[in-house]
Amino acid sequence: MRYFIRFSYCGTDFHGSQMQAEGVPTVQAEMEKALFTLFRIRVPVSFAGRTDTGVHAIEMYAHISSPIPLPYSSLADKLNALMSDAVHVSDVFPVPESLHARFSALSRTYKYYITTTADPFRRKGVTVVPRGLDFDAMNRAARLLLGRHDFASFCKTEHDSKTTMCTVMHAKWEVSYPAKPKNQYAHVPKDGECTAVFTIKANRFLRNMVRAVVGTLFDVGRGKITIEQFQEIIDAQQRTAAGASAPAEGLYLVSIEYPPFTLDHVHKRRSPFRHLRRRVRKFFRWRLPRAMRMTRYWIRENIFRLPPLHAHGPAADAPCSAPDAGYVAPRSAAIDPDS
């Protein structure tokens, strides 16, 4: 059976989500280590995607396969007890065998958070940028990403993807400005001080694609490149044409969509113990009654038909006061008709 694991993690303490060399802390290594502790065998885990070092995930999926049913209702709590606090499993549930965590996903959504005010408590969860970004120009450039395009300009040169074509369904910056404080002693926000989030949704993403897109949009917001030049970068299909990648601490994987499915055939799946159940049923229905009949026949033929004990000793010729009414001569004994 196949099970999906829904979990989240803070990528600050990990060198990415996928397994790397031995000893390198990754999310996959942390989860497979916990599964090995539970089942005492290596359980391969397939993630829905790959995130870089320092990238976070609010909702990530992975799947595992097992030849026997697992107690999935309590598996999430057991994994949380064995893994670090940077990873939290929210749910484990069965899915059809045909559903794959990576290849069955319909879309993925990323969010990139930025702020113009440095905050020591959020320094590892948001990217600090200088004030003065032109978000209107950045949104006009982001609209050029919509549709199906070749995003080779925003992909690392070393990648294992067969194609660099992606379909972007949504790409937009949303800006929020702080309200003026009512208290005169409170901090007064400066001009251009804001918090923004960039949301992008696509059917698939290339390696380092979101960070490269955000970094190039930063150049648009700073006025280094125009919107026409941004279109030329998309058409160039060369990584050197785009801007530098944005820092990883502000990037979050927020959701993954899968096709709807039903678990009717999963619940109707034949049990691996069906052969044993059939043999036990056959034993109690046919073999055990037959053995009991044969046992009763053997007892009747070999115990109740034996001669009494006094007929096989020195006192066999002694007169008997009363005949043994319960004695039945065995079949092998010869009967004298004149007696």
Q: Is 274 exposed, middle or buried (0-12, 13-18, 19+ CB in 10 A)?
A: exposed
Bridge pairing between strands 107-115 and 46-47: unpaired
**Beta pairing partners, 88:** 8
Q: Does the active-site annotation cover 191?
A: no
Q: Which of 52, 85, 150, 219 is catalytic?
A: 52
Tell me the C-alpha distance between 297 and 23, whole Å. Answer: 71
Tell me the C-alpha distance between 242 and 216, whole Å. Answer: 6
Tell me the C-alpha distance between 9 and 253, whole Å. Answer: 10
Which of these, 247, 217, 253, lies nearest to 107 by C-alpha position? 253
Ramachandran quadrant class, 208 (left: phi over 0; alpha: psi -120 to 50; beta: rest):
left
Tell me the C-alpha distance between 225 and 91, whole Å. Answer: 45
Q: Is 5 exposed, middle or buried (0-12, 13-18, 19+ CB in 10 A)?
A: buried
What's the maximum distance between 2 C-alpha atoms anywhere in the chain? 137
* Tokens coding 75: 């598996």
Question: Backbone phi, then psi, for 255, in 5-degree steps?
Answer: -165, 155
Tell me the C-alpha distance between 238 and 260, whole Å. Answer: 37
Tell me the C-alpha distance between 253 and 55, whole Å. Answer: 8
Q: Is 211 exposed, middle or buried (0-12, 13-18, 19+ CB in 10 A)?
A: buried
Three-state SS at 305: coil
Tell me the C-alpha distance between 117 and 64, whole Å. Answer: 42
What residues act catalytically?
52
